[in-house]
Structure 1
Amino acid sequence: MKKSLIFTLMLTFSLFVNGQTQYPVIVIETNFGTMKAILYDDTPNHSAHFLKLVKQGYFNGTLFHRVVKEFMIQGGAQDSRNAPAGAQIGGGRTDMDILPEFRPHHFHKKGAIAAPRRGDDENPQKRSDASQFYVVHGKIYSPGRLDSMEMAVNVPIKNRIIRDHYLPHKDELARLKSVDASAFNALLDSVLHVVDSLYEAAPGKLTLPAEMKEAYSTIGGAHHLDGEYTVFGEVIEGLDVIDKIAALPVDANSRPRSDAKIVKIYVE
């Protein structure tokens, strides 16, 4: 708890130092406690739209209708307001679709606020359904797990480059190794330089930033969502409220059996 508190305070200070000042602090009051959140300046379409809905009272009285522990809590759907127990809810609105605003430095750490969307088959542009939102609960990744995630992406890329640019010289290197050490070393150095240069510039290579590794290994998150859904804000106070809601027993549709209600969301 102490570690998380220190991290949150440092994060909050960093955000305001780095100019997250365009939007006011948002208060999310629930029947399990209150969270405070900021909206990012560099996701203006999502942030301005969310703020507009907040000022309209759009989310007041709705539910966190989809709750998955170690993943996220999703809420704000209009059909969740006063929904009877056991009813399947959470329908989105295509009239509030917004083009994605992916930013590599905004990722799915615990407390991240993001927009859900329809699947790629019917939504290849990955447009957000801005009529709802979700807050990441996530899980804590060990440093070794994060390294393995990088390797799982990067090793095949490196192997492909080696196959294309090292293997064609394999026989010649083997011949030179036994007859001309100087020529062998020169050719090997040349080939490895090409391999390393191509790998350094290879598209699709995964290098997790230090800030991301720190967050995922301390407070946790949901890395598999990065680059797929727009993150446009984050909870800066009340992370324990996410824990409480995420721990609720749910039905087959991931709806909590006892309502997790958004009493109101308003500007501080």
Structure 2
Amino acid sequence: MEFFLVYEKENPENTVRISTDFGDIDILLFEETKFHRANFIYLTKRKYYNGTQFYRVIDNFIIQGGSGDDRKTGVKRKNIGRYLLPRDTNRGFKHDRGTISMPSSDIENPHKLASPYEFFIVQQQGGAHFLNGDYTVFGKVIKGMDVVDKIAAVKTDEPTGLLKTYI
């Protein structure tokens, strides 16, 4: 994690644009969640998210991105490396509508460390506050919630909420 402490100082950006087939989503990344902000900037600059998908879409809940069926995504992960981010849930941020957060890793993970590659945006009206304390909120949509709503409304490929929408 030392790397991200240095990286966040050298890369002070705090906004990211996610371009999708449905339009753009502008995200403000919170300074208080240093590891998560630095990680998201790092992966963006490494072009990790290019070609990934919002692969889990549940209307009136979340859209989740950063993964995909494309073999290139696995190659990118292998090249970047395997690591987890510490949970940072004591900053007072809540899973309100429009916030961006990181899910826990799917590997054995009793401390709910965050998967660095994936993220979700809360689309639910009124927020998804039952997620508070378990996942780190590290930013919020400042423009493009209409795009989030469009993605959330798309009929998914499977009952699990899978959607092939490229980022």
Higher helix share: 1
Aligned match for 1:123, one of 106, 109, 119: 109
What's 1:69 paired with?
59
Structure 1's 54 and 222: CA in aligned 2 closer, same or farther, altered over 3 A? Answer: same
How does the TM-score come out when normalised to structure 2? 0.81
SS at match of 2:52: coil
Q: d(CA) in 2 for partners of 1:129 and 1:96?
A: 8
Q: d(CA) in 1 for partners of 2:152 and 2:70?
A: 19
What's 2:87 paired with?
100
Offset of 1:122 from its aligned partner? 3.5
Offset of 1:125 from its aligned partner? 1.4
What's 2:162 paired with?
255
* Alignment-mate amino acid for residue 165 of structure 2: A
Structure 1's 245 and 82: CA in aligned 2 closer, same or farther, altered over 3 A? Answer: farther
SS at match of 1:98: coil
What's 1:132 paired with?
118
Q: d(CA) in 2 for partners of 1:81 and 1:75?
A: 13
Equivalent residues in 2 for 1:46-85, closer than 5 Å: 46-77=36-67, 79-81=68-70
Give yes or no for the alignment of 1:113 onto 2:19.
no
* Alignment-mate amino acid for residue 224 of structure 1: F
Q: d(CA) in 1 for partners of 2:123 and 2:69?
A: 21
Aligned match for 1:29, one of 19, 28, 37: 19
Offset of 1:124 from its aligned partner? 2.0
**Number of residue pairs matched by the alignment:** 149
* CA deviations over 1:78-103 (Å, ceiling 9, x no partner): x43379xxxxxxxx999231111113
* Alignment-mate amino acid for residue 59 of structure 2: K
Q: d(CA) in 1 for partners of 2:40 and 2:136?
A: 13
Q: d(CA) in 2 for partners of 1:38 and 1:59?
A: 17
| Alignment gaps of 5+ in structure 1 | 1-21, 84-91, 140-219, 263-268
* CA deviations over 1:224-247 (Å, ceiling 9, x no partner): 101110111111001111100111
SS at match of 2:160: coil
Contact 2:66 2:118 in 1 (8 A): yes
SS at match of 1:233: strand
Contact 1:41 1:47 in 2 (8 A): yes
Q: d(CA) in 2 for partners of 1:96 and 1:74?
A: 19
Q: After the TM superposition, which of the residue ranges 126-135 and 94-103 deviates more from structure 2?
A: 94-103
Answer with 1 or 2: which has the greater Rg. Answer: 1
Higher strand share: 2
Structure 1's 104 and 49: CA in aligned 2 closer, same or farther, altered over 3 A? Answer: closer
* Alignment-mate amino acid for residue 53 of structure 2: L
